[in-house]
Amino acid sequence: MPELPEVERGRRIAHRALVGKRIKTVATANDRIVYAGVAPQRFARTLRRRTVVAALRRGKQLWLQLDQPPHPLFHFGMTGSFIVDRAGDPRPRFWKVILTADDGTRLTMPNARRLGRIRLLDDPPSQPPISNLGFDPLLDLPTTRQLIDSLANRRTPIKALLLDQSFAAGVGNWIADEVLYQSRIAPTRPAADLTPAEVAALRAKLRRIIHKAVDVDADNTRFPRTWLFHHRWGKNADAHTPAGHPIAHLTLAGRTTAWVPTVQR
């Protein structure tokens, strides 16, 4: 599932491919599931001959700001991404939209499992789904004091809270597990029970992990080898940290959670 770093990579791809260029042609797949609230044909008509001013992102939502509204909003879902090639190249499998600029650059969004969404909004930041999102850890991470205050009355397990997009936009399963592992906080702890020192550690690790993942363009082969990410995928009996601590798995907030009971308290 693409999380904040993967979607930020998509934003950068779109920025390099289309910003400052006019959209010459738009091809849309006739998929009324992926296209949400707009017919594919209308989406295509609206974007033709528009100039892309910026590529923007909040959480897992990404949109192109055009020279006039409405603006296209993209959510990758589980299998979405952006691919850049040239006009005339074979179309990628499972493509849902292809935007071709006047210089021949082509931006395609494939979406094999059809869990992504393509929308058309007049003012994306002020409309759902973006207006329902919480803070973005890359764009506007709260201060430690603000986080302490926001957790004070929340009895939700901290892992479930981190996955709540209305709390922390863009944080998904592996990021939440990595942050809690590096913060030494058990995923089942009620958020309100965290001490100020633990909240400070959680904030610091969230910032560091997000920035590192973005800096390496979401290439997980370049994540530090000490990260839980590289060791979390084995069976319970086989998964261990580099230090030899066993990695356990449980289901929390409907997601498989990897954690290290001997480290996280």
Residues 101 and 156 in one domain: no
Active site (annotated) includes residue 205: no
162 is a domain residue: yes
Which residue in 5, 8, 40, 60 is the catalytic one?
60
**pLDDT tens figures, 101-143:** 999 999 999 999 999 999 999 999 999 999 999 999 999 999 9
Q: Is 3 a catalytic residue?
A: yes
What's the rounded mean pLDDT across residues 143-166?
98
Q: Both 30 and 125 in a single domain? A: yes
Nearest to 111 by CA among 89, 151, 83: 83
Q: What is the pLDDT of residues 16-62, one digit of tens each?
A: 999 999 999 999 999 999 999 999 999 999 999 999 999 999 999 99
To the query of whether residue 2 is one of the catalytic residues in this protein, the response is: yes
Query: Distance between CA 150 and CA 154 in Å, rounded?
Result: 8
**Average model confidence (pLDDT) across the chain:** 96
Judgement on whether residues 184 and 101 belong to the same structural domain of the protein: no
Are residues 163 and 241 located together in one domain of the fold? yes
Judgement on whether residues 192 and 240 belong to the same structural domain of the protein? yes
- The closest alpha carbon to 177, from 264, 237, 77, 58, belongs to 264
Which one of the listed residues 3, 6, 8, 178 is annotated catalytic? 3
Residues 163 and 213 grouped into a single domain: yes
User: Are residues 104 and 196 part of one domain?
Assistant: no
CATH assignment of the domain containing 43: 3.20.190.10
Give the CA distances from residue 51 to residues 101, 174, 184, 257, in Å, rounded to whole numbers and listed in that order.
9, 36, 48, 43
8 Å CB contact between 55 and 15 = yes
Segments forming the whole domain that contains residue 246: 144-259
User: Which of the listed residues 98, 132, 166 is the one where a domain comes to its end?
Assistant: 132
In whole angstroms, how far apart are CA 201 and each of 103, 121, 181? Answer: 48, 38, 11
